[in-house]
């Protein structure tokens, strides 16, 4: 007789069965379908976790929530966790993102109490391995890509449930996961810079960035008191400086950029949505000013709080929502501003996961614009093709 027991509260079945649209027998810890196919069976969303203290310190041991996981860690899981803590957390989510090592320390500790976040870390680690093996071992790269997809699906399935009840106890984990999901889109296998606004499948990336910023904003009073306070520091810097950088900032090597930015407004003249375009141009001026300052020797007072990478990616959260809609509607004037943004993306492509994204996004813009608008693309095309400026980190 089978020793398995039916889970008392499940109705939807496990994640692999749901993905394949087949009926799950809902036995735990692993349904028969997953056993036959040697799949990782997941009932994480139904596992009750014990109450956990808010914002555990990086040095405190993980609590008993790990006992709620339906499956023990496999060797592959430990491999992914090791690679994440020793490599991915430094090269992808290191101090250049927050100025502190929290992605290697505090975030990992918190993930032990919140399985959806742990799956997010596993997915990022696997995708990093995909990148490393893509040219040398395609079969191994495909293996890690499949693993990354499975962990990503598990992550978002449970994250969606948690985010519906954002509270002090889960605020750190939800904010960390929101940031992971936004970054995940940038370097999943086959991703293109064009997906920032023109995603063929799934959400356009700007929606992920804006959604993550909204979650951070909603939980800011809780997160700033805990172990992940440095995660919201860039957001606070942007709020304190936008729309005009402090007069104490010494802007360097930006005069030519500003002249070209100011000239762009003539392409929309008295267009009926002029105010939206003017506001968006102001955000571009701010982003150029801030990233230029951060790359200069005089920018040391801000480098522990925000980086050129975050300042550039944050542009999607600063622009008016109506502008994003205008881009999706293929409004020529809005597309010109997106083309100019490609210049900033090109300047941070020192990060491997951003490499090539500026070219892809600019190509998508060029494909939507007619011959009458090509003259406005000369500046971004020249910058992106030649990489005239030294990439920022």
Domains of the chain, by residue range, sit at: 1-48, 72-231, 242-386
**Residue 160 CB neighbour total at 10 angstroms:** 11
Instruction: Assess if CATH 4.10.240 describes domain 1-48.
Output: yes
Q: Which residue, chain included where needed, has tokens 């700007």? A: 206
3-state secondary structure of 6: strand
Is residue 128 within 8 Å of 91, Cβ to Cβ? yes
Q: Which of 213-222, 259-268, 287-296, 329-338 has the highest mean pLDDT?
A: 329-338
Backbone angles phi, psi at 48, to 5 degrees: -70, 125
**Residue 299 CB neighbour total at 10 angstroms:** 19
pLDDT 10s digits, 243-301:
655 444 444 445 578 888 888 999 998 888 999 999 999 999 888 888 887 776 555 55
User: Can you state the angle between helices 321-328 and 332-347, rounded to 10 degrees?
Assistant: 110
Alpha helices in the chain (DSSP H): 15-20, 32-37, 75-83, 89-91, 95-98, 106-111, 115-133, 138-163, 168-187, 205-218, 220-223, 233-241, 255-264, 274-294, 308-313, 315-318, 321-328, 332-347, 357-368, 378-386
pLDDT over 90, % of the chain: 40
pLDDT 10s digits, 88-139:
888 776 666 666 788 889 999 999 999 999 999 999 999 999 999 999 999 9
Q: What is the mean pLDDT of residues 205-221?
A: 90
**What DSSP string describes 72-87?**
PPPHHHHHHHHHIIII
């Amino acid at each position: 007789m089978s020793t398995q027991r039916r889970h008392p509260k499940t109705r939807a079945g496990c994640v692999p069965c749901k993905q394949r649209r087949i009926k799950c027998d809902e036995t735990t810890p692993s349904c028969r379908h997953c056993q036959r196919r040697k799949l990782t069976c997941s009932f994480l969303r139904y596992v009750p976790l014990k109450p956990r203290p808010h914002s555990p310190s990086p040095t405190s041991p993980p609590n008993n929530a790990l006992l709620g996981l339906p499956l023990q860690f496999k060797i592959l899981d430990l491999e992914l966790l090791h690679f994440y803590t020793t490599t991915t957390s430094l090269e992808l989510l290191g101090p250049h993102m927050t100025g502190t090592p929290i992605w290697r320390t505090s975030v990992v500790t918190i993930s032990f109490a919140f399985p959806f976040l742990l799956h997010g870390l596993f997915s990022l680690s696997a995708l990093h391995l995909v990148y490393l093996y893509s040219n040398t071992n395609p079969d191994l790269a495909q293996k890690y890509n499949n693993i990354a997809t499975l962990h990503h699906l598990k992550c978002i399935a449970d994250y969606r449930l948690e985010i519906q009840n954002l509270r002090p106890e889960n605020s750190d984990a939800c904010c960390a996961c929101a940031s992971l999901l936004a970054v995940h889109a940038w370097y999943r296998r086959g991703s293109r810079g064009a997906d920032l606004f023109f995603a063929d499948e799934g959400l356009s990336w700007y929606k992920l960035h804006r959604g993550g910023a909204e979650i951070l904003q909603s939980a800011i009073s809780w997160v700033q008191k805990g172990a992940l306070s440095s995660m919201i520091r860039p957001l606070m810097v942007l709020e304190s400086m936008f729309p005009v950088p402090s007069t104490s900032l010494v802007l360097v090597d930006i005069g030519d950029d500003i002249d070209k930015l100011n000239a762009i407004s003539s392409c929309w003249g008295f267009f009926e949505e002029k105010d939206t375009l003017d506001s968006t141009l102001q955000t571009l001026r701010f982003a150029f000013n801030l990233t230029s300052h951060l790359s200069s020797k005089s920018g040391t007072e801000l480098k522990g709080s925000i980086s050129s990478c975050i300042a550039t990616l944050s542009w999607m959260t600063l622009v008016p929502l109506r502008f994003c809609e205008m881009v999706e509607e293929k409004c020529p004037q809005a597309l010109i501003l997106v083309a100019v943004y490609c210049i900033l993306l090109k300047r941070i492509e020192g990060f491997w996961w951003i490499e090539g994204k500026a070219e892809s996004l600019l190509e998508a813009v060029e494909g939507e614009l007619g011959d009458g608008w090509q003259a406005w693309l000369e500046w971004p095309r020249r910058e992106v093709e030649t990489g005239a400026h030294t990439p920022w980190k």
